[in-house]
Every structure is written in structure tokens, then in C-alpha cells.
Amino acid sequence: MSSKDLFELGGAYDELLRRGIALAGESPGYFIDGRIAHLRSRLGEDTTIKSILDLGCGVGDACARLADAFGASVTGVDVARGAVEEARRRIGDERVQFALLGDLADTRFDLCYVNGAFHHMAASQWPGVTRRIAQLVRPGGVFALFENNPWSVPARLVMRRIPFDRDVTLLRPAVAQRLLEEAGFATAATDYLFFFPRRLKSLRRGESLLQRVPLGAQYLVTGRRS
């Protein structure tokens, strides 16, 4: 079954993901909250973020959390109709709406949040998608790209347990940064996240000191549109 087929199953995607990351001893919510908290910290006191695009939102689990963290409206979009329909069933929040990517109106957003979507695309699609995101972000707005780190052994072990992640092409951090810069974003330094599984939870208090060490399970590249 292809990744697109799995995403069309909507709720089934959530269960398959949960089984995979059980290796880390955490739920999907732990990673969602960690990403958003780190992004909120990275952007500091930026109060201009009032509209957010969650591109590749899946079943919408991050959308209400993004709305809470930034006090913003959120539009979640995906290419899979089943995922969008499942998101609409799950998320009853007036600050959040969902749409298929092809139905997205020509709107400018203050922040585009993307997690784990690029590795489900062919590498040849990456430049075009990044340029399209640049069109959807207002001047001065932010593109936050989270991806699984190809240099992380734990990340690769988890992905092997997830049917729709086994044969994907991972985006290297340097390539991600170049893509953003070529699309017109001024990029910040790459941050690495999620170094220790739950059984080593006591070590997590030091993860903030490891943000530049390229061994975290995920990384974040942020870019501000010129």
C-alpha cells in the first residue's frame, strides 16, 4: 500500500504512526507538543503571527495546538481527502479549518508549518513545493520546516516500523536550507530535536544544549521571507 493510500484511510494513519513511534516510548502528542514549543521559543516574542498554514496536516493533530501556542487562526491542508475528512471530524475548533491542497484559496499566511511532508514527495518536487510555499507566505512571514533527520539512527529505526515511511527519500538538512534560500527565505541555523527516548527521560533536560548537534531524531529549518 502506498503512502497516499494510507493517508486516504484517515484514522488508520494515526494508529500506524503510533505503533511506529512506540519504540521511543512516547505518543505522537509528545512530539507535536515538542515541535510547537520549540518553534514558539525559536520565534521569540513575534506577535505578528495571526494566521498559520499547516501544510500536510494529515488528520489535523497539530492544528489546535498551533492555534493555542500562537493565538492564531489555522488552516490545515493535505492532498488526501480521507485525511482532511478525518481532521474535520476530530477537530471542532472555530479557529481551525481544513481544505484539500488543490482547493486552497490564494491567501497569504504569517507562518507555514510543515512537518514530515517533504519525505513523502519525490525529490524532484521539493523545489516547486518550496516555491509554492513562498507564494503562500507574506513578506516577513516564516516558513518552519520540520523533517526526520537522515543522520539519526533512532529516527531510521522508527521509520522502518511504519509502512508508509520505509522507502521514502529523506531530506538532508543542508538541502532543506538551500531549498528555502533559493525560494527567497533567509534561513536561521538548523536546530535538532528529540535526542533521548523515554527510558532516558532524565537526560532530556540537557537537550536544549544539543540543538546544533546533528543527531536529534528531527530537525527544524526556519526561514523568513524577504
Q: What topology does CATH give the domain 3-225?
A: Rossmann fold (3.40.50)
pLDDT score, position 73? 98
Q: What is the pLDDT of residues 193-203, one digit of tens each?
A: 999 999 999 99
- Is pLDDT larger for residue 160 or for residue 53? 53
Is it the case that residue 51 has pLDDT exceeding 80? yes
The CA distance from 206 to 62, in Å, is 25
> Is the whole model's pTM more than 0.85, yes or no?
yes
Mean pLDDT of 41-47: 87
**Domains of the chain: which residue ranges?**
3-225
Give Cα separations from 99 to 34, 80, 152, 176, 186 (angstroms): 25, 10, 33, 26, 28
For residue 119, give the DSSP letter: G
pLDDT digits (tens, 9 = 90+) for 66-124: 999 999 999 999 988 988 999 999 999 999 999 998 898 788 999 999 999 999 999 99
Cell numbers at residue 95, please? 479557529
pLDDT 10s digits, 175-192: 999 999 999 999 998 999
